Amino acid sequence: MFDFRVSTHSHFDEACRAFSAKHNIIQLAKKAGLNPQTISNKLNPDQVHQLTVREMLILTDLTEDSTLVDGALAQLQCLPCVPVNEMAQENLPDYVLKATAEVGQLAAGVVSQEKLTPASRRSLVQNVHAGIRCLTLAALAVQARVQSNPALAGTADVLSGLGASIGMG
């Protein structure tokens, strides 16, 4: 059904480095009940030890930082994660505005004449990921809004049924 392919790029290694740079790993490991030195080593791609899925989940949950999960998904050539538990219908305007801002930042970076450094590349990828998250949350908020209004939901069902019948005819 799905054809996952592991990327030849080191997305997960880059994510581990970025996560380590963003957080105080010693405090985080202690909070997680993990050995700080072991976690530091596991987040260093040059070390032999590898971060386990369970450790990645614990660190992501404690920090609410999806860098490690997004890195793992990118390694599988998948889109970034979207924390759907953050979705709220009343935030629809915020999601749309944030997505627009992220796309604007991406556009500015793409047309820039400056040399693309590893840091600027990471920044552009972060813009893409944030934009995808916001657009997905916006889509979920719209869907929730339609489903919460019986008249609107019925109209949407009728229209999608008409669209399907027209397409088949």
For 46-91, what is each residue's pLDDT tens digit? 999 999 999 999 999 999 999 999 999 989 988 888 888 877 878 8
Number of separate domains in the chain: 2
Res. 144: pLDDT tops 80? yes
What tokens were used for 91? Answer: 């935030």
Residue 166's pLDDT is 57
Checking if the pLDDT of 151 tops 80, the result is no
Q: Confirm if 85 and 136 have CB atoms less than 8 A apart.
A: no
For residue 17, the enclosing domain spans: 11-75
The structure's pTM equals 0.71
Residue 134 lies in a domain: yes
DSSP output for 70-139 = HHHHHHTT-PPP--GGG--GGGHHHHHHHHHHHHHHHHHHHH--S---HHHHHHHHHHHHHHHHHHHHHH
Structure tokens at 148: 């919460």
Q: Is 79 left (phi over 0), alpha (psi -120 to 50) or beta?
A: beta
Both 69 and 91 in a single domain?
no
pLDDT tens-digit readout, 121-131: 888 888 998 99
Phi, psi dihedral angles at 46 (to 5 degrees): -80, -10
- Give the Cα separation of 126 and 98 in Å (integer): 13
The verdict on 71 and 127 lying in the same domain is no
Residue 32 is predicted with a pLDDT of 94
Q: Assess whether 91 and 163 both reside in one domain.
A: yes
Asked if residue 3 is part of any domain, the answer here is no
98 phi and psi angles, rounded to 5 deg: -65, -40
Q: Which two tokens stand for residue 3?
A: 């054809």
